[in-house]
Chains A and B, each alone.
Chain A
Amino acid sequence: MGHQRLGKLPRTRSWLEVVALIQNGASADQVAHATILAAEIDLRKAARAAGLVETVWLLCQLPFTARATDFERSLLDCGLAVPNEPGVLDLTSAFSAAVDARLHNNRGRTENSSTSWGDGHRRRGQSTSPCASTRHAG
C-alpha cells in the first residue's frame, strides 16, 4: 500500500520559455531570470506558506546555534528538540518535527512548503554536518 504519482508540469507560456531557454543553451542567469518570472505568482504565495517561513527561519538560526557555546541548548531554544550530543540525523529529525509542528494537522501544507522543507534538509545537511561531526569528535 503506497503509490507515487508524477506531477503535472506547468505548460504556461512562461514555463515553456524556461524550457526553450534551457534547450537553446541559455546561461544560468538567464534561465534563473525566466524562472523567477514564470514562478512569480507562486513565489508571492510562498511568502505566506507557514512551512516555508519556518524552514527559512530555522536555516537562518542554524549558523548561530553552531557558533553558540552550548550547541544543544541553543538548538532547543530554536525549537529543535535534540538529544545530548546530537548527530546529523538527530538534527534532521528535530528539524522535520519543528516544521511539522508549525503545520498542525497538515493545515497550511503546500507544495512550496514541502519543497522548501526538502531543500532545507539538503542545505542543513551540507551546512551542519561538519559542525555536528566535529562536535561528536570533541
Chain B
Amino acid sequence: MRINKARGLTKDSNQRARSFLYASLAATIAAMLGLNRIAFFENGVTSLNLPLSGQVVGSRASRTTHPRALQAFGGLFGLIRGKPFAVVNPYQDKTKADVIRVLTGNGCADLIGLTWSCALPRAASFERPHCGVCSQCIDRRFAVLAARAADHDPLAAYRVDVVAGEVPEGKPRTMLAVYTETARQVGRMTSSRFFARFGEVARALPFLSAPNAVAGQRVYDLYRRHGQEVREVVLQALRDYAIGFLDRTLPPHCLVRMATDDSGVGLEAEPPARPAPSSAASCFRRAGAAWQLRFDGRTPFILLPSLGAAYLHVLLQRAGRPMALAELAQSVAKDPDRFALAPADVNLDRQGLIILRARLRELDAAIGEAERDNDTVLADVWRHEKSEVLEELRKSASFQGLTLQQRDPSKQLRSAVYMAVRRALRDIAEYDAKLADHLLPKSANLRCGNNPCYDPRPPVIWDTDPLSGAQL
C-alpha cells in the first residue's frame, strides 16, 4: 500500500498524523488476523515529548505516540470493532539509546541506516535524509552516539554534523542549545523540581498502567537517564575534538564549542546588571545605550534611546542658557552636515513645477495620439520623456504639491524637535508622570521656539554626567 500526503495539502511539513495512519493500518491487519492488540515501539522520551523550552507551548511539541493518544487510538478502534482493543508501547521506559541497544544487541544494527528520523522530510534528499538540526535528528544522533552505534549511522547522511558542524543561526542553533541544556538541567534536578518544571507529565501518568507515584518515578528515572546519556555524548565529543578545540579549527557554532561557552546562546546568561543609582536627587544620564532617569529622589528608571531623550539631555545640561535650535539639532545629529544651509537652486521653484506639469499634460496627449496612430516608436519616445518629467516632479515636490523651497526649514526643524521631545515625554510618563509634567514643552520650565531653553524656577540640579564603565 502506498500512501502519500499531497504536496499541496498543507503548507506545514509536519507529519503528526502519521501515527494515526500507522495505527489504523496495523489495527486493520490485527482485525483481519483476529488480534485485539497492536504495539508501537517508541522510546519514552519522544513519546512524552516534554517541551524543551518555554517557547514550546501546546501543539508545538507533537504527541503522536503519547500514552494518552495511544489509549485514545485503542478506544476508537475498540468502538469500531465492537470489542476492547489495546494500543500499547512496550518501550515507554526506554530512551532512544536503549532502543538502539536492543537493535545492536539482537544483531540488527544494519537496520539503523535504513531508518528515517528527520522532522523535515520535504527538505531531505535520498543521500542526505537527515537535516541534523531538527529535534528529531538531534535526538537520533545523540542516541546513536550514546549507544556507541555511530558506525551504523553514517555521518554523510546528515546535512549538518550535530556534534562538530557549524549550526546555522536562529532556530537550529537554539534547538541544539535547548536540547543539550535541558538534558543537562534534568540530569541535576530533584524529582520535585522535575515535576514542577514539566507539569505536562501529569497528563501522561493516568495512562502509564501504574499508580501515579510509581509512574511518575519511572518518567523521572527515564529522563534522568536520558540526561545522563546526552551528558556522556557531550563529554565524549569534548574528548574527541579536544585538539580541534585547541587549534581553533572547529566551527564557531558547533556543539562542542557551544557546550563550553554559552555566550552565543545565552541560555543561562546572567541578567544585565542594573546601573548604579545616582547620588543626586535628579539625574538624566547615559547608561550604556540608554538613559537613566530620576526626578526629585524618586525611583530611577531606564529610558530607551530616542532623539527626544537626547534633546532633553542637552537642554538639561545647558539649563538656564538658551541655545539655537540648529545648534541643538546639530549637537545630537549623527550627520551634523544635514543642518548646513542648502544651496537655493537645489529644487525647482513654483514656476518650474507649473511648466513641468503642463509638459506632462502635453506628453499624455501626445502618447494618446501616437497610440491611436499605432506609432509605437513615437509613443515610446513620449513615454520615456514622461517618466523623466515624473521623476523630476517626484524629487522636487512634496505630496501636497508644494515645492520643497516653499517650506520654512526652521519651522520644520522646530516641529521635528518638538514632536521628538513629546514622544520621549510620552515614554517618560509611563514611569514618572511628574517628571513628564515637569519637562512639558512650552511650559514654564521648558521653553521651545527657535531658542529652546530649560529654565525651571526654582532651579533643579541634574546629574547629567554619563555613567562610567564601573557603574554599569
Binding site for B on A (CB under 8 A): 1-7, 9, 17, 20-27, 29-30, 33-34, 37, 87-90, 92-93, 95-97, 100, 109-111, 114-115, 117-118, 120-122, 125-126, 129
Contact = CB atoms under 8 A, between A and B. Distances in A.
Given A24-B289, A37-B430, A89 B216 contact: yes
Interface in B189-216: 192, 195-197, 199-203, 205-206, 212-213, 215-216
Nearest to B179: A4
Interface residues of B, number: 62
Contact of B55 (A6, A23, A96, A120): A6
Contacts of A5: 14, 56, 60-61, 135
Contacts of B52: 4
Contact of B302 (A25, A109, A120, A129): A25
Given A3-B119, A96-B203, A111 B58 contact: yes
B58 A126 contact: no
Main SS at interface, chain A: helix
27 contacts: A1-B15, A1-B19, A1-B42, A1-B64, A2-B62, A2-B66, A3-B62, A4-B51, A4-B60, A5-B56, A6-B55, A6-B171, A6-B174, A23-B272, A24-B288, A24-B302, A25-B275, A25-B287, A27-B274, A88-B195, A89-B212, A90-B212, A95-B202, A97-B206, A100-B203, A120-B199, A125-B192
A136 to B, nearest CB: 10
A106 to B, nearest CB: 9
Given A2-B62, A3-B136, A25 B56 contact: no
Contacts of B213: 87, 89-90
Contacts, number: 150
B195 A92 contact: yes
Interface in B122-144: 134-136
A7 B304 contact: no
Nearest to A92: B202
Contacts of A100: 203
Contacts of B111: none
A20 B137 CA distance: 34
Contact of A89 (B47, B202, B272): B202
B304 A25 contact: no
A109 B59 CA distance: 10
B272 A24 contact: yes
B271 interface: yes
A24 B275 CA distance: 8
